[in-house]
Amino acid sequence: MLVVMKADATSGDVDRVQEKIRLLGLVPHKIPGAERVAIGITGNRGGLDPDLFQSMTGVLEAVRVSKPFKLVSREVKPDDSVIQCGTASIGGPELAVIAGPCSVESRQQIIETAEMLAETGVRFLRGGAFKPRTSPYAFQGLKEQGLEYLREAADRTGMKVVTEVKDTESLPEVLAASDILQVGARNMFNFSLLERLGDERKPVLLKRSFAATIEEWLMAAEYLASRGNYEIILCERGIRTFEPSTRNTLDLNAVPLLKKLSHLPVLVDPSHGTGRWDLVIPMAQAAVVAGADGLMIEVHLDPASALSDGYQSLRPETFRTLMARLHDLVPFVKRRMPVAAVGA
Ligand code: PEP
Ligand code: MN
C-alpha cells in the first residue's frame, strides 16, 4: 500500500500517518518526491484497506501497489532515484563510469590504474579484494591488503571506491574501505547478506545473478529497501544462455524494462556481459543508447598477465578510446560525461 500525501500536507500530517502505520504493526517508508511525499507500507501479509488512511488529514489517496516489489517500484516513486556519492552521482544526467581491474593485484597496479582512469574523468574506481571465484584454486584476492591499496589509490586520485562484499564475515572491513558495496552475481540470491546490507546506510550496487529473472532481481533489491537502505543501484552483467561464444548474453532488454518498472538507477557491465574485450566498446555504447545510467568496465594495465578476467579487460589505450566514443555519444541521449575533480 502507498499513502500519497497532498502537496500541502504538513510534517505533522505525515508523522500521524506514519504513527498509524506503526500502531498497526507495520513499517512506514517515507518517500520524498518532487511534488509531494508518499509513504510506502510494508509488513502486511494480506491487502490493506485504503479507508484506514483515506480520511486522514493531508492524505490525497491510499493506493494498492500491484507489483510484488513495492519500495523499488515506479508505482511507489515516479521520480528517478539519484544516488549521491560525494560530488559524484549515479542516476542523474552525468553518465556514471565505474572502472578498474577485476582484482586488485598490487599497490602499484591499482595506483597506476587509478591515475590513468582519473585522467579520463572516471569518478568511481572498482577492484575486487574478496573475490568469489568458481575454482577454489584460483586467485581469491588480496583481501584486507587489497582494500587498503584500493582505498589509497582512490583517495590519491579523488575517486570513490566500489568493491564486492563477498560475505557477512568480511563486511566490516569492506564497509570501512568502500563508498559503494557491490553484491556480485553469485550473491544476488544470498538473502542473509542482503538483509545485513539492508541495515547499512551505504549504497549497494546489486548485480543481476546470471540466472535471475527481472522480477527476482527486483525482489532482491526489495530486501535491501524493506530494511531501510534505499540507496540501490542495479547492474546488468549478462545472463547465461545456450550461446557459448560469449561468456554471458548481455540482456539489454533489461535496461528499458527496469526503467519502466523501477525508479532505481541501472548500470550495465559489458565486461562480464560479453567476457570479451573486443565486444566491450560496442556493447557499452549500446547500453548507453538503451538508457543505462552508467557503465562498469574492467580495465587492466596488462590484460595478458591479469590474475582474473584478463580476456575481458580493456587496456588503457582501448579504455581511452571507449571514453572518447562515449563523449561523442552522450549528447544524443541527453547526458554528459563525468569530469573528475581531483580531491572530490
Ligand atoms: C566482478 O565484478 O568482478 C564480478 C565478479 O562480477 P559478477 O558478480 O557480475 O560476476
Ligand atoms: Mn571480473
C-alpha cell at 71: 519500495
Q: Is the CB of 272 under 6 A from ligand 1?
A: yes
Ligand nearest to the CA of 99: 1
pLDDT at 137: 95
| CATH code of the domain made up of 2-63 | 3.30.70.1140
pLDDT tens across the length of the chain (344 residues):
999 999 999 999 999 999 999 999 999 999 988 889 999 999 998 889 999 999 999 999 999 998 999 999 999 999 999 999 999 999 999 999 999 999 999 999 999 999 999 999 999 999 999 999 999 999 999 999 999 999 999 999 999 999 999 999 999 999 999 999 999 999 999 999 999 999 999 999 999 999 999 999 999 999 999 999 999 999 999 999 999 999 999 999 999 999 999 999 999 999 999 999 999 999 999 999 999 999 999 999 999 999 999 999 999 999 999 999 999 999 999 999 998 655 44
User: What's residue 342's pLDDT?
Assistant: 54
What is the phi/psi pair of residue 299, to 5°?
Answer: -130, 135
Beta-bridge partners for 273:
none
Take atom 8 of ligand 1 and give the residue whose Cα is closest.
184
Radius of gyration over every alpha carbon of the chain, rounded to an integer in angstroms? 21
What is the rounded distance in angstroms from the CA atom of residue 322 to the CA atom of residue 288? 12
> For position 46, what pLDDT does the model report?
86
* C-beta of 237 in contact with ligand 1 (< 6 A): yes
Distance 104 CA to ligand 1 centre (A): 13
pLDDT at residue 189 in the model: 98
Residue 86 vs residues 77, 123, 147, 158, 253: alpha-carbon distances, Å: 23, 10, 19, 10, 31
Which ligand 1 atom sits nearest the alpha carbon of residue 208?
Answer: 9
- Nearest C-alpha to atom 9 of ligand 1 is from which residue? 185
Span from the CA of 132 to the centroid of ligand 1 (angstroms):
8
Which residues, 6 or more positions from 342, have their beta carbon under 8 angstroms from its beta carbon? 118, 157, 158
* Residue intervals in the chain for CATH 3.20.20.70: 83-333
d(Cα 72, Cα 215) in Å, to the nearest integer? 11
Cell 500536507 belongs to which residue? 9
Q: Which uninterrupted H or E stretch holds 206?
A: strand 204-207
Phi then psi for residue 112, to 5 deg, are -60, -40
Q: Which amino acid is at 200?
A: E
Contact (CB, 8 A) for 313 and 306: yes
Q: Is 185 in the pocket of ligand 1 (CB under 6 A)?
A: yes
Nearest listed ligand to the Cα of residue 238: 1
The grid coordinates listed for 78 are 515516479
Asked if residues 275 and 312 have their Cβ atoms less than 8 Å apart, the reply is yes
- Say yes or no: CB of residue 188 within 6 Å of ligand 1: no
All CATH 3.30.70.1140 domain ranges in the chain, comma separated: 2-63
Distances (CA, A) of 302 to 117, 197, 212: 15, 34, 33
Identify the bridge partners of residue 83 per DSSP, sorted by sequence position.
90
Which atom of ligand 1 lies nearest, measured to the CA of 296? 2
Strand partners, 163: 181
Ligand nearest to the CA of 189: 1
pLDDT for res 341: 57
Q: Is the CB of 146 under 6 A from ligand 1?
A: no
CA of 101 to the centre of ligand 2 (A): 8
Determine the topology of domain 83-333 in CATH. TIM Barrel (3.20.20)
* Interacting residues of 331 by C-beta distance below 8 A, sequence separation 6+: none
